[in-house]
Amino acid sequence: MNWKKGYTIALLCVSLFAFCACEKPESQQNIAKDSLVLAIGSEPEGGFDPCTGWGRYGNPLIQSTLIDTDQNMNIICDLATDYSVSANGLVWTFQIRDDAFFTDGSKVSAEDVVFTFLTAKNSGSIVDLTALTDCIAKDETTVEFHLKEPQSAFLYTVAATGIVPQHAYSKTYGDNPIGSGPFQLTQWDKGQQIILEANENYYGQIPYFKKVVILFLSEDAALAAAQTGQLDMAITATHLANQKIKGMHLLSLPTIDNRGLTLPYTKSGQLNEKGYPVGNDVTSDLAIRRALSYGIDRAALVEQALLGYGRPAYTECDNMPWWNEESTVPYRLEQAKQILEEAGWLLNEQTGIREKDGLKAQFNLLYSAGDSTRQALCLAVSEQAKELGIQITTEGVSWDEIDRRMYAEPVMMGWGAQNPMETYLLYHKDNMGKDYYNPENYHNATVDQYMEQAMQAKTLEDSYLYWQKAQWDGQTGLATQGDCPWVWLVNVDHLYYVRDGLNIGQQKIHPHGHAWPVVANLKEWTWE
């Protein structure tokens, strides 16, 4: 059966909810099958080009990376065989293996590595290489990266950047990528599917699965396909996670795919360079922010809004190596009320809303319209806040509207990266009011110093202490006990229906984005 024809038919059948009329894929016909059919989410809008962001949340699959991280976020070698850093932290040197080849037969060289990183630096994309000043090939297997200042987290950026071939790169590379990774892209029917095949010349262990078809289906359509035996894995949502599907089981994977409230940190009355309002008189009061963090029952949010598929969140990096466990705070409603009372926020018995100097404890909470999870969280937070005497009005709007209003109004936002650089981007003064990074305009000189010390540390292990101090050092920090510029709420589990017997290996804790992270270790998947 022709794969393209078979899965185009399958997609049509999904839209009609009539999968029973479709011929089952070859992967469902063989007992010892070496093919998979997956529906794990939407296709990457920018294509499969690491220089413009492909692979940032998971693994590029098609391309090799110099280094990688294991399931515990320890650095391991991939295309590189070894690396070192100079005493001043400004020069990183990588030795690369000499037995790696692109799928067109050409050898991977240090020049390809140089080309990749310089192209990514100049792409203007989400690939953050601002610290990189130069990249030099010392010989065919040695590459030097020169940084303008020490940056310990540079290793995580390297681990997420797939290497592209200089000789075969163009503006359309993302549509027809050539790489040296464990899989190669053999077909892409945009809006429908991609087909990956094992790279038989891969320098590492050849993947068990020789062909992997990834369909781009909505959660409802993926469920319909799974129910009729068309899929080996189907992405799903909390409200669809109670289905019984013959031959499949529900897999709930822990993440740092978090949701939390941005709380404008300064008082109102300002405009930014775009003319958008900045600041909020209610959320700029530390007592309001801190009371919300203590007074919101995160465990109840997990049960109510996520139907149990999640975990309470206290920072953007819970359970990562650089996380400070002291940032965890218990649910203490009475303590939250006391914080408000002591700060002068007194309850108006008639309205049920606290007031201070004539100002009511009320604000709008924005969320992306159409995002049912964020809507459910907003409504649950609003209901719980009533117990504190804080009135929160929820409003679903477009991202364009959020762009204009997020500097003055709280937003239900989501982050979560396998890289401590995210902490720097979210809180450092250099990122105040820069798009989604620090819309609350938070700034603390001591916290900035800790983050800068973390960046300048000679090793990742040395940097962790400073990232942890930025969260809470006993006197100040980002955590609830400190400045509390965010109220982090939950980490959302990533849910999949998985065919019985499919072994997807040991997964890393998933970053933000319920799709591609699950296949980051696809080369390790097998049938039990």
Give the model's pLDDT for residue 433: 87
| Domains with residue ranges and CATH for the chain | 1-43+190-254+494-528 (3.40.190.10), 258-492 (3.10.105.10)
Q: 325 Cβ partners below 8 Å, 6+ apart? A: none
Give the model's pLDDT for residue 96: 97
Full-model pTM: 0.89
Give the model's pLDDT for residue 30: 43
What whole-number distance in Å separates Cα of residue 410 and Cα of residue 413? 9
- Residue 427 near residue 484 (C-beta atoms within 8 A): no
Token pair for residue 385?
A: 């806040």
The H or E element spanning position 28 is helix 26-29
- Residue 38 near residue 215 (C-beta atoms within 8 A): yes
Query: How far, rounded to the nearest angstrom, does the alpha carbon of residue 495 sit from its chain's CA centroid?
Result: 15
Give the model's pLDDT for residue 128: 83
Question: What letter does residue 519 receive in the DSSP assignment?
Answer: G
- Exposure letters 88-125 (e unless 16+ CB within 10 A, then b): ebbebbbbbbeebebbeeeebbbebbbbbbbbbbeeeb
Question: Going edge to edge, which strands form the sheet with 211-215?
Answer: 183-189, 193-198, 211-215, 35-39, 233-236, 494-499, 248-253
Strand ranges for 66-165 from DSSP E = 67-69, 75-77, 80-85, 91-96, 132-139, 142-147
What whole-number distance in Å separates Cα of residue 145 and Cα of residue 163? 14
pLDDT tens track of the chain, all 528 residues?
344 444 443 443 444 333 333 334 443 444 458 999 999 988 998 899 999 999 887 789 999 999 999 988 889 999 999 999 999 999 999 999 999 999 999 999 999 999 999 999 998 777 889 899 999 999 999 999 999 999 999 999 999 999 999 999 999 999 999 999 999 999 999 999 999 999 999 999 999 999 999 999 999 999 999 999 999 999 999 999 999 999 999 999 999 999 999 999 999 999 999 999 999 999 999 999 999 999 999 999 999 999 999 999 999 999 999 999 999 999 999 999 999 999 999 999 999 999 999 999 999 999 999 899 999 999 999 999 999 999 999 999 999 999 999 999 999 999 999 999 999 999 999 999 888 999 999 999 999 999 999 999 988 899 999 999 999 999 999 999 999 999 999 999 999 999 999 999 999 999 998 889 999 999 999 998
Question: What letter does residue 65 receive in the DSSP assignment?
Answer: B
The length of the chain, given as a count of residues: 528
With tokens 């309205």, the residue in question is 351
Of 47, 14, 42, 63, the closest CA to residue 214 belongs to: 42
Strand 362-368 relative to strand 270-271: parallel, antiparallel, unpaired?
unpaired
Q: 320 Cβ partners below 8 Å, 6+ apart? A: 73, 256, 418, 420, 509
With tokens 């130069």, the residue in question is 134
What whole-number distance in Å separates Cα of residue 426 and Cα of residue 440? 9
- Residue 274 near residue 435 (C-beta atoms within 8 A): no
Query: How far, rounded to the nearest angstrom, does the alpha carbon of residue 410 sit from its chain's CA centroid?
Result: 21
Phi, psi of 261 (to 5 degrees): -100, 125
Of 508, 483, 490, the closest CA to residue 426 belongs to: 483
Q: 376 Cβ partners below 8 Å, 6+ apart? A: 304, 305, 306
The H or E element spanning position 392 is strand 391-397
Give the model's pLDDT for residue 178: 97
What whole-number distance in Å separates Cα of residue 322 and Cα of residue 478? 14
